[in-house]
Structure 1
Amino acid sequence: MSMNRHAVAQDTIFTMATIKQEQPVVPEASTRATASTWNTKDMGKRLGVDVASAATAGALTCPLITIIDRAIMEKASKGFPIGQTIRNCLGSMVARPSGFFFSTPFLLIYTLYTSTYLTANAIDTLRSTTHNQPYNAIDTGLPKFFATTIVNMTICVYKDARFAKMFGASPPSESLARTSTMNTNPGAWKYSSALRAPCPPSTPIAPTLQIPKVSYGLFCLRDSITIWASFNIPALIAPSVPDFLASSPTMKSSIAQFACPAAMQFASTPMHLLGLDLYNRQPAGGMHWTERAARIRRDYVPSCFARMGKIVPAYGIGGVVNVRMRDSLMKRVERGE
């Protein structure tokens, strides 16, 4: 009996030893690597760099963008020459800088582009954190495209609706009232050229035009392809820039950052003009598509180059300032300076 118990005990010990040997051993180094995948060091400073870079890029580029955006609106809705509107607005900005920089149009533009830069920066920081990459790493994937597109479209569609109402076609009675006011008061023209929309006349006005849903859709499509060309394409095509145009990776990146958003305006300008025309001309019986196509043909060339003049500062100059400032500051934070 004693011998049987001793044999059972030996079998049990042998079985447990065998099971222990068969169990996989997880290396300690692997455990530490998994735990350290997320690099959250200096997260507060890194987010501060994202905000500072976006705010600086917006402050440098948004004054010109505001003026050009209004000029395009008034060209499409009222036929005003783009150059004349730009000169009037520049004069207003120089004469009354506080009125310009605290006006609704400038604040809308500044909010739009600063928020877009900041979203792109935040996605880059999130990606570098979750993938344990260098602080200044840049993401070119779909999450960045979708995030920047959603933020940009949401604010931009609201901005365009506000701009269309401030600088777009006026109801007939309002137009007559403004004409009468300018004829009796020469100073009214000077005031109307400021960035703020003129005060409503005291006489009754017609109901405000509503932004058609198709216009909203066209504005969203326009902004989607512009964002794609501004934040995703440049990093992908920069290595393909010929060496005779740019010899260093930095120069290749800068050329791509300028060229891609500007070239995309050839495709996005018709969407922009059609969306504005659907708002500005809303006859009771509708309008034939040939009439709208004729208006787009009339305004396409000046509006296309004016939009390039707006996009190049926004996503060319602004994009380069934002990316380079972020890159420089992130390297300093990573070095512990």
Structure 2
Amino acid sequence: VHRFGVAPFITIVDRAIIENASGARPLGRGLRELSVECLKHPLRFIGKREFHLIFGLYAATYASANIVDSVCEYTETDNQMPKFIGTTAVNMSLCIAKDRAFARMFGVIVPGSFPLASIGLFAMRDSLTCAASFNAPHVLAEKLQDNNLMKLSSATTFAQVLCPAAVQFVSTPLHLLGLDLYNNKNQSVAQRVALIQREFGKSLLARIGRIGPAFGIGGVGNAYFRHTLQAGIN
């Protein structure tokens, strides 16, 4: 339920960032126009391919995290490394496929092959995102509790929102460079650096706004539903 609820917002932000990076539509106008379209025609919006790609991506990512957690609890083993490997493998493969599809669907150039360098940059971006979303919050929450800064429940929620947002300072340049390598294949290094500097601020804010629902609120909601279902089963 929570994945379906946040998917429209993530779809809007992802498409707007892709269109802005390709020069198809400025970021602010894209966010505004796509939001209006979603509100005016919600059923048509959720019937589009881009929505299905986003919903499938996050449903699969959280499902993999929950499966790893359940198996590790059953076998009484530590879940940190299995969860990182499992969620990264699922999220990375699906997210790269999603970004390739979005770049071809909403770019201004004739759809072509995706550079291996772009795929590598997206893989680095997604590895960081998964670590910050599924591993770092647990570690940070325990540190906050051990130092008597927060109760565990508050620390868990705080860490689940903070960690995915903070990693965007590193992953946003990787995202922009990966897109630019596809959209502008013959640019110089100086031109690519200039583009990242120009687009970094607004893209960072958009990705932090996007990552909050995707992995922050989504992570809190996922934990709540998982614990509720476990309590019902037990």
> In the alignment, which residue of structure 2 is the partner of 1:306?
206
Q: Distance in 1 between matches of 2:14 and 2:216?
A: 16
Any idea what the Cα deviations from partners look like across 1:115-147, whole Å, max 9, x if unmatched?
00000000011111222x9xxxxx542111001
The answer for the alignment partner of 1:50 in structure 2 is none
Equivalent residues in 2 for 1:135-174, closer than 5 Å: 140-171=79-110
| 2: CA distance, partners of 1:65 / 1:308 | 11
1:76 equivalenced with 2:21 (yes/no): yes
Higher share of residues assigned helix: 2
Q: Distance in 2 between matches of 1:256 and 1:241?
A: 9
Contact kept in structure 2, 1:76 and 1:276, CA below 8 Å: yes
Alignment match, 1:127: 72
CA shift, 1:278, in A, is: 0.4
Residue 182 of structure 2 is matched in structure 1 by 279
Instruction: Please give the TM-score of this superposition, normalised by the length of structure 1.
Output: 0.66
The structure 1 residue matched to 2:59, chosen from 103, 114, 117, is 114
Question: Which residue of the partner structure matches residue 266 of structure 1?
Answer: 169
**Match for residue 222 of structure 1?**
125
Spell out structure 1 runs of 4+ moving beyond 3 A.
Answer: 242-247
Distance 2:9 2:146 in 1: 32
State the alpha-carbon separation in 2 of the partners of residues 97 and 141 from structure 1.
Answer: 38
Aligned partner of 1:48 in structure 2 is none
Distance (Å, rounded) in 1 between the aligned partners of 2:159 and 2:24:
34
- Report the TM-score, using the length of structure 2 for normalisation: 0.94
- Structure-2 separation of matches of 1:58 and 1:69: 15
Check whether the contact 2:88–2:130 (CA below 8 A) recurs between aligned residues. yes
Name the larger-Rg structure: 1
Distance 2:65 2:97 in 1: 20
Partner SS, residue 241 of structure 1: helix
Tell me the amino acid that sits aligned with residue 214 of structure 2. Answer: A
Q: Confirm whether residue 237 of structure 1 aligns to residue 110 of structure 2.
A: no
Which residue of 2 is the match for residue 251 of structure 1? 154
Q: Which moved more, 1:77-86 or 1:118-127?
A: 77-86
Count of residues in Structure 1 that have an aligned counterpart in Structure 2:
234
For 1:153-174, what per-residue CA distance to the aligned partner results, in whole angstroms no more than 9, with x for missing partners?
A: 1111100000001112324xxx
Question: 2:222 aligned with 1:322, yes or no?
Answer: yes
Contact 1:60–1:318 (Cα < 8 Å) also in 2? no
**Contact map agreement 2:24 2:106 (CA 8 A) in 1:** no
Mapped partners of 2:212, 2:145: distance in 1: 21
Distance 1:169 1:224 in 2: 28
RMSD value over aligned CA atoms? Answer: 1.8
Partners of 2:145 and 2:28 lie apart in 1 by 35
Per-residue deviation, 1:246? 6.2
